[in-house]
Amino acid sequence: MTNLKIEDDKTRAKRSITWVRLTEALKREGCPICIQLVDSEEKYIRDILYEYVLDVGVRKKLHQKRGLCSRHAKLAIKAERELNSDGLHLATMFETVLEESIRFIDDTISLYREYYSKNTRRRKPPKNIAISNCFICDHINEMEKTFISLFTYYSTDQELHNLYSESESIICYRHLNKLLEDKCDLWVIEKTNEKLKNLITLMKSFIQKHSHEYRSEFSEAELRSWIKTINFFSGEYR
């Protein structure tokens, strides 16, 4: 009876957009978790530029985190250009953040002036400007947790097994570890290692065929083996 209920829940879950996105990611080359992250990162940045330029919450987060990290700054500028915009969205978003930061730096200068002067009781330096991840990084970290637990949820599913077995996708090293920590079905880890064993055979053959004794042609899979190996370690999002 319990099994039947789980089956029903899963069947229902498979009608959701999250399952559709996962299956689409599984059909592509690369890590299915990373692919979903990159897609949702792009969508999140586009949504911010389209809808949240004047949003107080976004400004607050931008100010708290002192702007964007370098990765997301580049992606935001790229998204702005893709909108065929001269920069008005990001300029509007950053206007008050810059004003607030200028005021903050002015205040910090006053505090440091006092700290450096000889006639001060201040013994400890004033609080510095802390730089941490940006709010888009925070959003992506949350998305990553969701995608990992979603994958774990479906990791016993036959349809997922078939999709992963048949596709060129390989879960990256980082997400393999995260799935293990999440107690994902070991089938997924075994299948990934099987794909890696196939990959090392192809790469060895690719290397070997460079010696003069071999005159056979490279297969398409051999030619791509070293790129797939590098991408296994880097993932599409690291």
Name the residues that contact Zn ion, by CB under 5 A: 31, 33-34, 69, 72, 134, 136-137, 172, 175, 235
Report the interhelical angle of 17-26 vs 135-154 (nearest 10°).
Answer: 90
- Please report the sign of the dihedral spanned by the C-alpha atoms of residue 129, residue 130, residue 136, residue 139: negative
Report the interhelical angle of 186-208 vs 220-234 (nearest 10°).
Answer: 130
> 169 or 222, CB closer to Zn ion?
169
Least separation in angstroms between CB 61 and Zn ion: 11
Residue 133 near residue 123 (C-beta atoms within 8 A): no
Least separation in angstroms between CB 231 and Zn ion: 9
Residue whose C-alpha is closest to residue 62's, from 135, 118, 115: 135
Least separation in angstroms between CB 4 and Zn ion: 34
Least separation in angstroms between CB 78 and Zn ion: 14
> 26 or 172, CB closer to Zn ion?
172
Least separation in angstroms between CB 174 and Zn ion: 6
> 110 or 146, CB closer to Zn ion?
146
For residue 131, the Cα-to-chain-centroid distance in whole angstroms is: 20
> 174 or 222, CB closer to Zn ion?
174
Cα–Cα distance measured from residue 94 to residue 56, given in angstroms and rounded to the nearest whole number: 12
> 172 or 188, CB closer to Zn ion?
172
The stretches of 52-183 forming alpha helices (DSSP H) are 56-64, 70-82, 88-116, 135-154, 158-166, 173-181
